[in-house]
Amino acid sequence: MTKNSQVFALKYRPQTFKDLVGHSEVSKAIYNSIKINKSANAFLFTGIRGIGKTTFARIVAKALNCENGIEKLCSENFCSNCLSIINSNHIDVLEIDAASRTGVDDVRELLEFSRYSPSVAKYKVFIIDEVHMLSKQAFNALLKTLEEPPSYLKFIFATTEIKKIPITVLSRCQRYNLSRIGSVELFQYIKSICLKEDRKVNDKALKLIVKISEGSVRDALSLLDRALLSTENEELLFENAQKIFGYVDKSSYIKLLELVLNGDEKSVLKHYRDIYISGVDPSNFLNDFLEILYFTKNISHLAIDGTNFTLNDNDYNEILSLSKKTKPNTFLLFWEYTLKTVKEMNLVSNKNILIEMFLIQLIYIKNSKTLYQEEKKNITINNSSNQNKIFLKKSEVVSQIKNIQQEDNETEKKDDKNQNKITNLEDLINTCIDKKEIKLKYELENNVNLVSFSKYKIEISFNPKLNKDFVKNLSDKLFEWTNKRWIILFSNQKGEISKKEEKIIMKDKIMDEYKSSNEYDKILGLIPDIELTDIEEKK
């Protein structure tokens, strides 16, 4: 296969650390470790699909074995070792897909092969992709060799599911988390690919590709490849890209939200059906609708055309106008109801009618006060024609309202009592301890960077280490404990350090203070080679 016939993801695959898109800190750390001959026994790369885990693994394997050395790592005219690694046929560098070879026998065979020194290269390198797919027995078989491998052996693991790897394996690896590529950086990269291919692509179309790829380089290159093939030698315009990817512009969702807020049921259904006919999947529709709700609620905190290429000037002004005309609690209620519909999506075979009914329900939620006022008006009109009958009905209604109010007051008192138990993060952690919710307690202490904590609302900084079900689990438990729906938001603001980091800093401070004390100096005088390694609070 010639290079010109290859797909972009293969044709423009990075060959050196300098070629990599993003991850400069990770590249620098690994480059320096290999340069001074202090590389780890085992590397572990984790991150979303298409972020460069396997590419990183191959570059590390080449850096360890390149005939020209790491400082002159082959980028074009490849030496025999580098060429064999690129073609996945090097005798000393084995690439294994753990998804298809999961058993303990496969790992034992690998370890048996590791007993022999490399044939032509400096190091034997085992690259295991999707390593989380290995069985428990297979992981156990690896442990001893991972901790004390022969000097010529290196392991490189790649995974998208870091939580499925045993902690005993993680502790024996040098772990590198490969984050999503920033929108601006990814945009510049695929734009440079267009220049190399001598193809004209509209910037808005490239921004759409960046948005759909969600920080994955491989996805971005695959989408670009598909779009350019669809347009042959013509310029790729934004409108073409929308049709190719089945993407509906945000302005359509903003218009739909405006129609919902205006209570125009007929127009809402017609507008949604136009969106559906254009090729938008109902599941994707709900996710895009959630994004519009987020923007409308938080528009005062957002800048035009930020790093995610989310809003243009017109969209921004339209959303700002909607936000000013509508109370914030309406958007919060819509948000909650949309999430509920997302959970119910798989319960219905025809998802399209589910979305239509969902939109109609939003209209009725928005107009619930108007309906109540019309009912009240009808009672007043009927009262003049049938006074005694209406009087009886009104007295019954008043009695019912009083009973409902009394029940609501009792519920609110109960809720407030429960709420008073959870007024800050410390209270929440203690409640998790009392309720034996150990997983939630771990996440709250280790991975939560708090921005704000108020009544029924928690705002935290985004942390990729958080369990993907953290928000759902915490929301469900808070509702169970307080009988109230809590709002849990991710913020762009930098939150406080985690409770675990706070404890570490405090312990370090106490240790430093003790090391500066006269008592510690006296101990050093008696035992000069003593070293303070830990300090514990006396219970």
Confidence class of residue 419 from pLDDT cuts 50, 70 and 90?
Answer: very low
pLDDT of 296 > 50? The answer is yes
The answer to whether residues 295 and 311 touch, using CB atoms and an 8 Å cutoff, is yes
pLDDT, residue 466, reads 84
Nearest to 199 by CA among 238, 233, 241, 239: 233
Q: What is the CATH number of domain 183-245?
A: 1.10.8.60
pLDDT above 60 for 360: yes
User: Can you say how many angstroms the Cα of residue 270 is from the centroid of all Cα atoms in its chain?
Assistant: 34
183-245 and 250-366 in the same fold: no
> What pLDDT sits at residue 3?
63
Neighbours of 258 (CB within 10 A): 20
Greatest Cα pair distance in the chain: 103
For residue 539, what pLDDT is reported? 54
Q: What is the pLDDT of residue 408?
A: 47
Which class is domain 250-366? mainly alpha
Q: Alpha-carbon dihedral of residues 322, 323, 328, 330, nearest 10 degrees?
A: 10
pLDDT above 70 for 531: yes
pLDDT at position 77 over 50: yes
Domain positions in the chain: 3-177, 183-245, 250-366, 369-419, 422-491
Take residue 279 and report the two structure tokens written for it. Answer: 């090729």
Phi first, then psi: give them for residue 69, nearest 5 degrees: 85, 160
Query: Quick one: pLDDT band at residue 415, thresholds 50, 70, 90?
Result: very low
The mean-pLDDT minimum among 71-80, 102-111, 230-239, 436-445 falls in 230-239
Whether 141 and 107 have beta carbons less than 8 Å apart is answered as yes
Domain 422-491 has CATH 3.30.300: yes
453: helix, coil or strand?
strand
Total-model pTM? 0.59
Question: What pLDDT digit, counting tens, does each position of 193-206 carry?
Answer: 999 988 899 888 89
Model confidence at 406, in pLDDT bands (50, 70, 90)?
low
CB contact set of 46 (below 8 Å; sequence gap of 6+) = 53, 158, 159, 160, 162, 175, 176, 177, 178
397: number of CA atoms within 13 Å, CB side? 9
Q: Give mean pLDDT, residues 302-331.
A: 73
**pLDDT of 379 strictly over 50:** no
Span 212-250, pLDDT tens digits: 888 899 999 999 998 888 887 788 888 888 888 877 777
DSSP at 237: -
Q: Note whether 94 and 126 are within 8 A (CB).
A: yes
Confidence band for 383, pLDDT divided at 50, 70 and 90: very low
| Class for the domain spanning 3-177 | alpha beta
Res 4: pLDDT: 65
Comparing C-alpha atoms, which of 301, 340, 335, 343 is closest to residue 319? 301
The helix-helix angle for 313-325 and 282-298 (nearest 10°) equals 70
What percentage of the chain exceeds 70 in pLDDT? Answer: 87
pLDDT at position 158 is: 94
459, 491 contact by CB (below 8 A): yes
- Read off the pLDDT band of 538 (50, 70, 90): low
Could you tell me what percent of the chain has a pLDDT over 90?
24
Tell me the backbone φ, ψ of residue 26, rounded to 5 degrees.
-65, -45
